[in-house]
Amino acid sequence: MMSESWRYIRVISAKEIIEFIRDWRTLVAVIVIPLLIFPALFIALPMLMQSEAAELDALTLEVVWQGDVEDDLHLKYQDLKLNLTFEELSDDAENLSDPGSDLDRLRNQEYDAIFRLRNSSGTWEFSILHLSTSEYSAEAKARMLGALYDWEMEVINGTLTEAGLEPNETLNPVKWDGNPEYADAATKGEQAGLALSLFIPMVIAIWTATSAIQPSIDMTAGERERGTLEALLCLPCSRVQLLAGKWLAVATITSVGVGLQLAGLMFAITYLASSSIIGVPSISWSSVMLLGIAILIFAIMVVAFELAIAMKSHSVKEAGSLLGPAIIFIMFPAIFTQFINLDGIEAFWFSVPLVNILLAMRELLLDRVILEHIVVWLVSSLLYAGIAAWYAARQFKREDLVASLS
Amino acid sequence: MSDAMLTIEGVAKHFGEVSALSSIDLEISSGQVIGLVGGNGAGKTTLLRLMAGVMEPSSGDVLFRGKPVSSMRAKLGVVPESTGLYSRLTAWENIRYHSRMFGIDDTVAWNRTSHFAKRLDLSDSLSRHTKGFSRGMRQKTALLRALAHGPDILLLDEPTAGLDVTSARTVRTLVRQLRDEGGTVIYSTHHLAEAQQVCDRIIIVHNGTIRADGSPNDLLELTECSNLEDAYVALTSDKARARTEEPRSESKLARWWKVFLTGRTPDTVGGDDDE
């Protein structure tokens, strides 16, 4: 009997998977996008940003210098690829930050920035008129501010020295001794685990839920809409076996998507680790195993729930309009969970639906194996997964699946 | 105990307050082609679904060799009106999927399929995806699928609906050949001429009840008519019921709201099969 049940489930899921992957759009959604999303986010995007920044660095920007000219500062500006035009300060401005008649010159992007400098009774006053919506203008402002800071420090140091004071001791009377990184008791691997725990559970939760939608709809409401469900219900298997077969197919497709996404993430992390940006997380095998169980239970629950909703629908459109907004119920706890402090957390949090699995994943990524928490999330999650499976089975047993075929 | 293959005892079927079938008693013996004849909404498809075990009767029993038919689905071959083929699979993959579910070895299923595919002139199309199939090819593939596991009884719901003349004739010829080889076929149709050509026994279903049951000659004798069309009209002279009836208790506003929300008219309550 058991082997017959397994045969039904195996045959149904194999057929569903074959049929599903014969659509090239599915292959893109299930394989290409999950595989590339993290490398694109963590490697390609920073590379693109670096390239854009380098391009901006190479530019010579047009700047007007109005008012007094200070020789040391002038020398610093000459090293910044600024094409300087000198002008007198106009009298129509109330203060240096008031653009006055220069407003149009900036807004028309005739110049990238206007630097104003005035020596007022021994104090240097300045302003940089700029257009914050222009990248060139923002870059000109940033370059000038950097040089101004250096020049200001030179002025302060000079004043302090003239007064017989040692600048470093005067300006930094309290300082950290040694390298602050060495003072952290957490290893690089643990720090990496913490960083990953802040978004991996969210990624897994949201991706599992979203990637299960399309196959869930296709295998239920899609069958109803295409008129293939009645022939399927005439087969000798029970409807629970039918549900199990379809569940296995959706879970497999979703697992492949999540697995590839994690593979892409690991590749990105390895790449970043080689650049010493982030360490490789150190997690024990028991944590990895429990993490796998947590993801599996989560998948059982989410996929069963989505199959049930999709089976309840009369058409693909109806199923889509129900399951699309339902993702909010996954996303909200996923985001909420990131803000829960794990130190001294109460055990009841590990019994809250969805939150429990997400918290469990966070804890395990930090390699914290706490028996009490494990028991609570394991028991409660199995209960919720059981309820979801029971609800799905009820939907599959409904008689109007046949009576109201689309 | 009777030697009937399929027994229907006091069966009634309701969808909510709507009665689709009532007081149905039938015995189906082997080696016959039995036609279920009736107009749209008569209850043919519901009766076939009960016989196929995909629906449970509201009262009464549907038994296959003395056991509930829902537990004996492996003995049945069903071709629903929609054919139910997967367009991303080839014809053979569609057939193989079902035969594997029935626990039939691929080689056995292939041999049976090849045998019947020759008769239906579909051998060359077995390796093609069914996406581009004509209605006739789809119907033939569904027939092959229903035959691949060697069922004791074949249930066909409007098997020639929408088929061209040649394809319809091919299907009818196969049904007769199956009968000649000792097979049992239950054949739902609303074409009397077709029923007369193919069926040994005709069951006229009207307004959810059986109005007549017998050979074409029996029906002519019963009604004292010269042809089956006149006989059918005489047996179903009362007005065909509306397909469904909406409960009176529902207010106009509630009905309007339901239609607005679901986009479905109230008369889809009892099922939208082409009965």
User: In 10 A of CB A158, how many CB atoms?
Assistant: 12
Helices and strands of chain A, counted as H and E runs: 19, 4
User: In 10 A of CB A271, how many CB atoms?
Assistant: 14
Q: Please give the residue that has the higher pLDDT: either A338 or B148.
A: B148
What angle is formed at CA A242 by the lines to CA A238 and CA A247, rounded to 5 degrees?
145
Containing B89, the helix (H) or strand (E) segment is none
What is the pLDDT, as a whole number, of residue B245? 43
Identify all chain B residues contacting A230, using CB atoms and an 8 Å cutoff.
Answer: 49, 54, 80, 82, 84
Give residues 183 to 202 of B whose Cβ lies within 8 Å of A: none
Give residues 124 to 143 of B whose Cβ lies within 8 Å of A: 142
What is the pLDDT, as a whole number, of residue B275? 40
Q: Which residue type sits at B164?
A: D
pLDDT at B142 over 90: yes
Q: Name the average pLDDT for chain B.
A: 86
Structure confidence by residue, pLDDT tens digits, A116-130: 999 888 889 999 999
Cβ of A70 under 8 Å from any chain B Cβ?
no
Query: Band of the pLDDT at A195, cuts 50, 70, 90?
Result: confident
Structure confidence by residue, pLDDT tens digits, A77-130: 999 999 999 999 887 667 899 988 899 999 999 999 999 999 888 889 999 999
Cα separation, B6 vs B185, in Å, equals 11
In angstroms, the separation between the Cα of residue B143 and the nearest Cα of chain A is 11
Give residues 76 to 95 of B whose Cβ lies within 8 Å of A: 76, 78-80, 82-89, 93
Q: Tell me the average pLDDT across A265-273.
A: 78
Residue with tokens 């949201």: A206
Cβ of A15 under 8 Å from any chain B Cβ?
yes
In angstroms, the separation between the Cα of residue B54 and the nearest Cα of chain A is 6
Select from B82, B95, B274 the residue whose CB has the most chain A CBs within 10 Å, as the one to mutate to test that interface: B82
pLDDT at B13 over 70: yes
What is the pLDDT, as a whole number, of residue B137? 93
pLDDT at A366 over 80: yes
What is the pLDDT, as a whole number, of residue B146? 95
Identify all chain A residues contacting B264, using CB atoms and an 8 Å cutoff.
Answer: 314
pLDDT at B273 over 70: no
Alpha-carbon separation of residue A208 from A88, A212, A215, B255 (angstroms): 64, 6, 12, 39
What is the pLDDT, as a whole number, of residue B272? 39
What angle is formed at CA A383 by the lines to CA A382 and CA A389, rounded to 5 degrees?
85
Identify all chain B residues contacting A227, using CB atoms and an 8 Å cutoff.
Answer: 80, 82-84
Cα separation, A261 vs B111, in Å, equals 44
In angstroms, the separation between the Cα of residue B192 and the nearest Cα of chain A is 26
Q: Tell me the average pLDDT across B42-62.
A: 91
Cα separation, A170 vs A157, in Å, equals 10
Residue-range domains of chain B with CATH: 30-51+70-268 (3.40.50.300)
Residue by residue, DSSP assigns A198-216 as TTHHHHHHHHHHHHHHHHH
Query: Band of the pLDDT at B255, cuts 50, 70, 90?
Result: confident
Do the chains contact at A235 and B84, CB–CB below 8 Å?
no
Please enumerate in sequence order all residues whose Cβ is within 8 A of that of A279, keeping only pairs 6 or more positions apart, or say none: A187, A188, A189, A191, A192, A273
What is the pLDDT, as a whole number, of residue B247? 46
In angstroms, the separation between the Cα of residue B202 and the nearest Cα of chain A is 24
Please enumerate in sequence order all residues whose Cβ is within 8 A of that of B152, keeping only pairs 6 or more positions apart, or say none: B5, B30, B75, B76, B184
Do the chains contact at A229 and B98, CB–CB below 8 Å?
no
What is the pLDDT, as a whole number, of residue B48? 93
pLDDT at A19 over 60: yes
Cα separation, B193 vs B169, in Å, equals 12
With the C-alpha atoms ordered A286, A287, A293, A296, is the resulting torsion angle positive or negative?
A: negative
Closest CA to A274 of A103, A112, A43: A43
Q: Tell me the average pLDDT across A147-164.
A: 94
What is the pLDDT, as a whole number, of residue B9? 93
With the C-alpha atoms ordered A81, A85, A89, A95, is the resulting torsion angle positive or negative?
A: negative
Name the residue in chain A with its Cα closest to that of B275. Answer: A403
Cβ of B162 under 8 Å from any chain A Cβ?
no
pLDDT at B265 over 60: no
Contact yes or no for B205/B36 (Cβ under 8 A)? yes
SS3 B183: coil
Q: Poorest-confidence range of A37-41, A166-170, B270-274?
A: B270-274
Q: Tell me the average pLDDT across B13-28.
A: 89
Cα separation, A351 vs A193, in Å, equals 23
Q: Tell me the average pLDDT across B133-144.
A: 93
ipTM of model: 0.82
Residue-range domains of chain A with CATH: 2-41+188-403 (no CATH), 59-172 (3.40.190)
Name the residue in chain A with its Cα closest to that of B90. Answer: A19
Name the residue in chain A with its Cα closest to that of B14. Answer: A403
Identify all chain B residues contacting A8, using CB atoms and an 8 Å cutoff.
Answer: 101
Contact yes or no for A270/A280 (Cβ under 8 A)? yes
Identify all chain A residues contacting B15, using CB atoms and an 8 Å cutoff.
Answer: 400, 403
Q: Tell me the average pLDDT across A147-173.
A: 93
Q: Tell me the average pLDDT across B112-139.
A: 92
What is the pLDDT, as a whole number, of residue B2? 59
Cβ of B37 under 8 Å from any chain A Cβ?
no
Q: Tell me the average pLDDT across A255-267.
A: 83
pLDDT at B268 over 70: no
Query: Band of the pLDDT at A264, cuts 50, 70, 90?
Result: confident
Which of A4, A22, A234 faces B78 most closely, judged by CB atoms?
A234
Cα separation, A134 vs A106, in Å, equals 10
In angstroms, the separation between the Cα of residue B144 and the nearest Cα of chain A is 13
What is the pLDDT, as a whole number, of residue A200? 84
- CA A211 to chain CA centroid, nearest Å: 17
What is the pLDDT, as a whole number, of residue B241? 60
Cβ of B97 under 8 Å from any chain A Cβ?
yes
pLDDT at A208 over 90: no
pLDDT at B186 over 60: yes
What is the pLDDT, as a whole number, of residue A406? 38
Cβ of A400 under 8 Å from any chain B Cβ?
yes
Cβ of B105 under 8 Å from any chain A Cβ?
no
Contact yes or no for B49/B55 (Cβ under 8 A)? yes
Cβ of A226 under 8 Å from any chain B Cβ?
yes
Cβ of B263 under 8 Å from any chain A Cβ?
no
Q: Name the average pLDDT for chain A.
A: 88
